[in-house]
Amino acid sequence: MEVRPFDRRAFLDGEVQDALEAFEVDWVVLAGFLWRIPKEMIAAFPNRMVNVHPALLPDFGGQGMYGHHVHRAVSASGRTETGMTVHHVTADYDEGPPIFQVRCSIEPGEAPELIAQKVQELEYRYLPSVVEQLIENSSQTASS
């Protein structure tokens, strides 16, 4: 496997998309990626680009809602549960259709750091199997 770091310019100028296409990448899996994805890249990977969000979308999503910002907002809301969402990527932050959600209990006003720990455990536990299932399902559909 080759690792190719990139900066924002290379990403926005299409160099990253060109590299993904040159390597014949089938799926793009983002894990809390914070930059807006160019529409051309989304179009190049229709329904094959997913992201994980550290809350139960549509709540606590959108521009600026990432990392500790999400967990602070969840804590301040007084909710008794949170979780993580795997969703398709669209041109708008966290607006893509959810693919998978899993919940965990929290105490109202629980410390954002504790919420983050619980959500990360869910991400580590579920994201790989969700992605594996997506790829398997798409392979079955393509061969039918």
Rounded Cα–Cα distance for residues 21 and 29 (Å): 14
Nearest to 83 by CA among 108, 120, 39, 46: 120
What would the two tokens of residue 33 be?
């990626």
Q: Calculate the CA dihedral of residues 43, 5, 61, 90 and round it to 10 degrees.
A: 0
Paired residues of 88 in beta bridges: 50
Nearest to 56 by CA among 107, 105, 112: 105
- Annotation says 71 is catalytic: no
> Is the separation of the CB atoms in 54 and 123 below 8 Å?
yes
So which residues are the catalytic ones?
53
